[in-house]
Structure 1
């Protein structure tokens, strides 16, 4: 089972690598493509939005064709997108490359989370989801530094060649070692299963848990998008200092995720959801308190941004594993469809919420505090519904 989980993790890592590896190279990409940096930055939420929308299509494919064929198709698309980005001579090709990569990771993400649902239930599934989501935070910890080193040594195209090589290696591992886990009784669907999606969307419990994940992701996306402006432009951190601060936060989430796995086993999932809501609320209070109460000379210090962020993203670690397991638990024979719908709500909802918060006429810290409050409210709602769940839910 450990080998199986690590293989699923290697598939899940394709998404954060596609975001974090090229963060330090955004100015160089803009210069190389003769495009404004602000335009290149839009590829981050666009990538997530495509990933969310694409899961609506990938979910039925996973249930109809099986987990392994869809995983291989996603990896092939990822290789094509990475090569297109690495060889881009203008903005249109680079934009197309990012869309192709987004389509690719929607396939691999659905396969990974469906695979967990195929093999595990209840608290075991929650720990597996927590492990996958917690281990993802090693990517923001290391990927920006790796991308920066690759770009400094070989130019801004090097990170995309690295992604190409990574996808090739994972493809070989999937071919030889990933078993097909689709249950024999999986319900086949024709086209996009709108009726099944509608049946699932009518369940308030599913919506509560899926939107809790969307709120947490939206909060993190807002933090990631605003961090260069707050820490480097206003806070005057160097690129290396920025990478260290960004990376330390990733390691912090990973450590919290280990604690969450222990708490799930000993205290249960509802306690974790309640803790996540409280952590996001506390992060928002700290962030706004620093803006309103501390001297103006202190306002641009990195700690006034990163300490509230550290508290709030701990709430993400407490939320994602339990919320995902609760959302997918009733759908053993519809795991691909349910995983796709949950992923769509998480990715598209989180990306849309983050974009909306950043578009409002608010200062960067106020926009982030707003998303922390939204995440806290949605996670608190999920906690309320978790108290009503008893035992194993039955399928629709």
Structure 2
């Protein structure tokens, strides 16, 4: 019995390591190269504003890939899709560093998004295959905490690289990370789709519909949360440096401290789940988000108080970190045979919703502060409404918990 338990723990650690590695490609490719933008623009005879399109193009590659990669993962397995995604990411990163024109550079950014999108979808499908609802909520909260570290650590590593090397080495580093994930996917990751897991038998008798009311509610909930946090990231430079007069160094320090707040909240969520219901944490996350909107509004009306802004931004990070992992776990809960497809739908909705909102607000000429306030308030109102209307777990999740207990 002890030997079986040990093997089970080792196997679980293997899947968690693989899932974390697959997810981290996505944020690393966003944040690592940013410190090199001026040099990239100079070498490729492009403006920095043109190269800022690389962010949108990267997300476009992810979104377009998610339209079909979930079905591939459900049909052919998680492992081959992970291998394919890591390979594409590594190759695109290598050729991105070797690009001689801005057009070639942007094309490689698109294919980086394709590779990262494959790995992102597979990571969540693997966690759905191998973890029950309560463990999955805890792991996804921890994963969110690790992801929060990337915006802090990646620019630091990028800066250290560029102290000694030219900007292409940033992309060589991304290629190396892709190659490492490829090795992990090839030699360490075990296929989870074909394995007999205790969570499939109870769910297989239930229709796994993407139009399930509970699933749609969590798609909307997580999409609004991602929209709020990306609006916060997108507007923070304008608020800190243009409104509050922070220097670039002061802004970087402030964002690093705020990222630490989000990271600590994410790592605290698994502990909180041992004492509180998941719905309680979700509702608490919305209260924190609403409080952040009120404090940011007070800062704006109170002579642009930097102290109040920092308090409001800290609550934004805490609110998102407290609820996102739980909501993602609940969204994937009803699915066993279609976990890959469900992960794709979640990713597409989150990316498209946030990109559309930020584009619409910019097109309407809404200021950075009000763009953020609208996102936070809308996310809170919709989030609280969805929690109240869909507070109960779907039958498949209840069956799953009964299966785990037995």
Are residues 117 and 272 of structure 1, via their aligned partners in 2, closer, same or farther at CA, if it must alter by over 3 Å? same
| Corresponding position of 2:356 | 352
| Corresponding position of 1:243 | 252
| Corresponding position of 1:195 | none
Question: How do 1:52-201 and structure 2 match up within 5 A?
Answer: 52-183=63-194, 200-201=209-210
Q: Distance in 1 between matches of 2:309 and 2:99?
A: 35
Q: Distance in 2 between matches of 1:323 and 1:147?
A: 32
TM-score (ref. length: structure 1): 0.89
| Corresponding position of 2:294 | 285
Question: Contact 1:111 / 1:336 at 8 angstroms: preserved in 2?
Answer: yes
Q: Distance in 1 between matches of 2:132 and 2:231?
A: 32
| Corresponding position of 1:194 | none
Are residues 34 and 332 of structure 1, via their aligned partners in 2, closer, same or farther at CA, if it must alter by over 3 Å? same
User: Which SS does the other structure have where 1:213 is aligned?
Assistant: helix
CA root-mean-square deviation: 2.3
| Corresponding position of 2:379 | 375
| Corresponding position of 1:193 | none
Larger Rg: 2
Question: Contact 1:277 / 1:376 at 8 angstroms: preserved in 2?
Answer: yes
Give, in angstroms, the shift of residue 343 of structure 1.
1.6
Are residues 136 and 207 of structure 1, via their aligned partners in 2, closer, same or farther at CA, if it must alter by over 3 Å? same
Residues 1:272 and 2:277 are matched in the alignment: no
Bigger shift: residues 104-113 or 119-128: 119-128
Are residues 278 and 45 of structure 1, via their aligned partners in 2, closer, same or farther at CA, if it must alter by over 3 Å? farther
| Corresponding position of 2:326 | 322
Structure 2 residue runs of 5 or longer lacking an equivalent are 1-11, 198-206, 401-406
Question: Contact 2:92 / 2:112 at 8 angstroms: preserved in 1?
Answer: yes
Equivalent of residue 16 in structure 1, options 17, 27, 38:
27
Question: Contact 1:319 / 1:379 at 8 angstroms: preserved in 2?
Answer: no
After superposing on structure 2, the runs of 4+ consecutive aligned residues of structure 1 that deviate more than 4 Å are: 233-236
Are residues 87 and 232 of structure 1, via their aligned partners in 2, closer, same or farther at CA, if it must alter by over 3 Å? farther
Q: Distance in 1 between matches of 2:399 and 2:110?
A: 37
Are residues 7 and 21 of structure 1, via their aligned partners in 2, closer, same or farther at CA, if it must alter by over 3 Å? same
Are residues 151 and 360 of structure 1, via their aligned partners in 2, closer, same or farther at CA, if it must alter by over 3 Å? farther
Are residues 220 and 283 of structure 1, via their aligned partners in 2, closer, same or farther at CA, if it must alter by over 3 Å? same
| Corresponding position of 2:403 | none
Are residues 385 and 43 of structure 1, via their aligned partners in 2, closer, same or farther at CA, if it must alter by over 3 Å? farther
Question: Contact 2:66 / 2:345 at 8 angstroms: preserved in 1?
Answer: yes
Give, in angstroms, the shift of residue 345 of structure 1.
1.1
User: Which SS does the other structure have where 2:275 is aligned?
Assistant: helix
Bigger shift: residues 322-331 or 346-355: 346-355
| Corresponding position of 2:62 | 51
| Corresponding position of 1:261 | 270
Give, in angstroms, the shift of residue 43 of structure 1.
2.2
| Corresponding position of 2:224 | 215
Q: Distance in 1 between matches of 2:366 and 2:354?
A: 18
Question: Contact 1:330 / 1:393 at 8 angstroms: preserved in 2?
Answer: no
Give, in angstroms, the shift of residue 134 of structure 1.
1.9
Give, in angstroms, the shift of residue 335 of structure 1.
1.0
Question: Contact 2:77 / 2:194 at 8 angstroms: preserved in 1?
Answer: no
TM-score (ref. length: structure 2): 0.87
Give, in angstroms, the shift of residue 394 of structure 1.
6.7
Q: Distance in 1 between matches of 2:111 and 2:117?
A: 10
Residues 1:337 and 2:341 are matched in the alignment: yes
Q: Distance in 1 between matches of 2:238 and 2:338?
A: 43
Structure 1 residue runs of 5 or longer lacking an equivalent are 187-197
Question: Contact 2:81 / 2:122 at 8 angstroms: preserved in 1?
Answer: yes
| Corresponding position of 2:38 | 27
CA distances 1:230-269 after superposition (whole Å, capped 9, x unpaired): 3345544444333322222222111001221122221111
Bigger shift: residues 119-128 or 144-153: 144-153
How many residue pairs end up in the alignment?
Answer: 379
Are residues 239 and 146 of structure 1, via their aligned partners in 2, closer, same or farther at CA, if it must alter by over 3 Å? farther
CA distances 1:58-95 after superposition (whole Å, capped 9, x unpaired): 10111111111110100111012211221122221111
